[in-house]
Amino acid sequence: MNDDEFTEPDPMDDDAESEVDAFLRELQRDREENGEREVLIEVVSESLDEDGYTYTPNPEGAGLSLSIHGKHAVYTIFFFANEDSRVLRSYVRCPFLVPEEQRAPMAEALTRANYGLPLGNFEMDYSDGEVRFKTSVDVEGGRLVPLMVRNMLGASLAVCDRYYPAFMRVMHAGDEPADAIERVEI
């Protein structure tokens, strides 16, 4: 078979599902039928409780928020759970809004920071200049455990705190994005 003949299997095609995938789906169905399906946001709460964090649940019950002091700033963290798709997302909001005239250089800095990150990414809302770091985990066919939540939170905070000085230098000192990012990656 040459490269022109290769096509990836359609993920929606049942024949393309591996035996392991089929086993995991069956296991998840059995857990759900026996009432064993964990509620994602409850696992997040359990993890935060174990670590002594104070947080505020979302009134709709699908999320929560908290603030944590890093080395350079205080960050607001949001967790959102979608029980239907079995996806947990976290967003760490940086405590600044990028002025309109600085959004293009900041977008470059964020892109440079994102390159090579093993988990998560920075994103910026061009309409208001909000910067946040996003991580997510899809637990369909598996289980979310408190250690996974701790890892999401810890990695996200570490990355935000690492790059915070570079973002400040781009916004307030007029540093070139490449120079600012290189300075914190040394």
- Note the pLDDT tens digit of each residue in 51-76: 999 999 987 768 999 999 999 999 99
- Structural domain count of the chain: 1
37 belongs to a structural domain? yes
Residue 2 lies in a domain: no
d(CA 16, CA 74): 46
- Assess if residue 5 is contained within a domain: no
Nearest residue to 156 (alpha-carbon basis) of 44, 96, 70, 52: 70
Whether residue 163 is predicted with pLDDT greater than 80 in this model: the reply is yes
On whether residue 173 sits in a domain, the answer given is yes
Q: With bands split at pLDDT 50, 70 and 90, how would you rate the model's confidence at 8? A: very low
Residue-wise pLDDT for 92-133, tens only, equals: 999 999 999 999 999 999 999 999 899 999 999 999 999 999
- Mean pLDDT to the nearest integer, 71-92: 96
Q: 13-56: per-residue pLDDT in tens? A: 555 556 665 555 565 565 556 555 689 999 999 999 999 999 99
Q: Where does the chain show beta strands of DSSP type E?
A: 56-57, 63-69, 74-82, 87-97, 121-124, 130-138
Largest pairwise CA distance in the chain: 59
Phi and psi at 48, nearest 5°, equal -65, -40
Q: What is the pLDDT of residue 7?
A: 44
CATH number, residue 35? 3.30.1460.70
Cα dihedral across residues 10, 28, 91, 156: positive or negative: negative
Please indicate, yes or no, if residue 163 is contained in any of the structural domains. yes
Element at 115 (helix H, strand E): none
Q: Position 128: which residue type?
A: D
Does residue 84 belong to any structural domain of this protein? yes
Residue 137 in any domain: the answer is yes
Instruction: Domain of residue 179: give its range.
Output: 14-185
